[in-house]
């Protein structure tokens, strides 16, 4: 730095070497006048304000212009703090707070598969979640309703099944007939051959099992016209040839026992329809049906 002398001709650099600096350039104070100087762009420049003493400059503090007043220096900032502005007053160091972030609608700092980052903007869709590649996606339900509704006042109800699922679920709720001594049946492809449904029946009122006898994915107890039943059938591998495993459950207000059936549908034909019907004459007069495709 150039030789800056006091009014008495005493080199100030020698007198005040080692004082505070700006970006490594020393600040020199004239020992007589108290004025401060610094070398900027090769020229000795007087700092505004003053007079100063060496104690006026705090190591690692920030020099603040005071307008028409003297320069001041902030206190030393602690680790992991920022210099926060204060309207009409000197800034101070304090911890980082939420208000320091000026978030905008850009994705530059979003997290990725390669680095940590910010959360993407929310999609405003309550059924979505943030997946592993940083995108919002709809949660797979696993079940698709193929058809559902009220059972018609007819002897049968047929539902067409697309060959796009791993297995299907066939349900009936509150099902009743207008004719006594009936139990509902479920037949793939309207197949009425009893020998194509080998299986066993487990009943909650029996300690042993019995062999299936009806052409249906399920069997239960006969019920009167005023009684209802609820059932569900699971048919696996329906879209392929060969044997197709099924499991079903039936419960009627006739006896309130549970009937579980397990067996195989042995037809080699791909299942394209499912039929709801009774094991005799009579129409449906109550109840709902639903068929679901499971991925």
- Residue by residue, pLDDT tens for the chain (295 residues) are 333 333 444 344 333 333 455 556 677 777 677 777 777 677 777 776 667 665 555 566 676 665 555 556 677 788 888 888 888 777 888 898 888 888 888 888 899 999 999 999 999 988 888 988 889 988 776 789 999 999 999 999 999 999 989 999 999 999 999 999 999 999 999 999 999 999 999 988 776 788 999 999 999 889 998 899 999 999 999 998 889 999 999 999 988 889 999 999 999 999 999 999 999 999 999 999 999 999 8
> What DSSP character marks residue 77?
P
Statement: 143-294 belongs to CATH 2.60.120? yes
The closest of 214, 190, 189 to 201, measured between CA atoms, is 214
Q: pTM value?
A: 0.56
CA distance 1 to 163: 87
The full set of domain ranges for the chain reads 12-95, 103-139, 143-294
Tokens of 130: 């943030």
CA distance 5 to 18: 16
Using CB atoms within 10 Å of the CB of residue 122, give its burial: 0 to 12 exposed, 13 to 18 middle, 19+ buried.
Answer: exposed
């Amino acid at each position: 730095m150039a030789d800056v002398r006091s009014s008495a001709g005493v080199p100030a650099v020698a007198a005040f070497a080692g004082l505070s600096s700006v970006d490594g350039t020393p600040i020199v104070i004239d020992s007589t006048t108290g004025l401060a100087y610094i070398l900027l762009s090769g020229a000795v420049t007087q700092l505004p304000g003053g007079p100063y003493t060496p104690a006026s400059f705090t190591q690692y503090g920030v020099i603040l212009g005071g307008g028409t007043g003297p320069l001041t220096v902030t206190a030393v900032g602690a680790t992991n703090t920022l210099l926060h502005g204060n309207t009409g007053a000197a800034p101070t160091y304090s911890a980082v707070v939420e208000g320091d972030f000026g978030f905008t609608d850009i994705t530059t700092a979003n997290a990725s598969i390669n680095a940590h980052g910010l959360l993407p903007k929310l999609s405003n869709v309550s059924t979505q979640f943030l997946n592993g590649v940083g995108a919002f996606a709809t949660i797979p339900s696993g079940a698709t309703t193929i058809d559902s509704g009220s059972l018609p006042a007819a002897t049968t109800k047929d539902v067409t099944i697309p060959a796009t699922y791993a297995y299907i679920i066939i349900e009936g709720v509150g099902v009743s007939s207008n004719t006594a001594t009936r139990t509902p049946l479920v037949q793939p492809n309207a197949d009425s051959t009893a020998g194509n449904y080998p299986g066993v029946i487990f009943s909650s009122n029996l300690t042993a099992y019995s062999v299936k006898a009806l052409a249906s994915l399920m069997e239960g107890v006969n019920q009167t016209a005023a009684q209802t039943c609820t059932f569900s059938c699971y048919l696996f591998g329906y879209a392929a040839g060969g044997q197709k495993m099924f499991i079903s459950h039936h419960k009627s207000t006739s006896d309130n026992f549970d009937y579980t059936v397990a067996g195989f549908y042995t037809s080699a034909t791909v299942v394209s329809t499912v039929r709801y019907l009774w094991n005799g004459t009579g129409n449906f007069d109550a109840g709902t049906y639903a068929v679901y495709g499971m991925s």
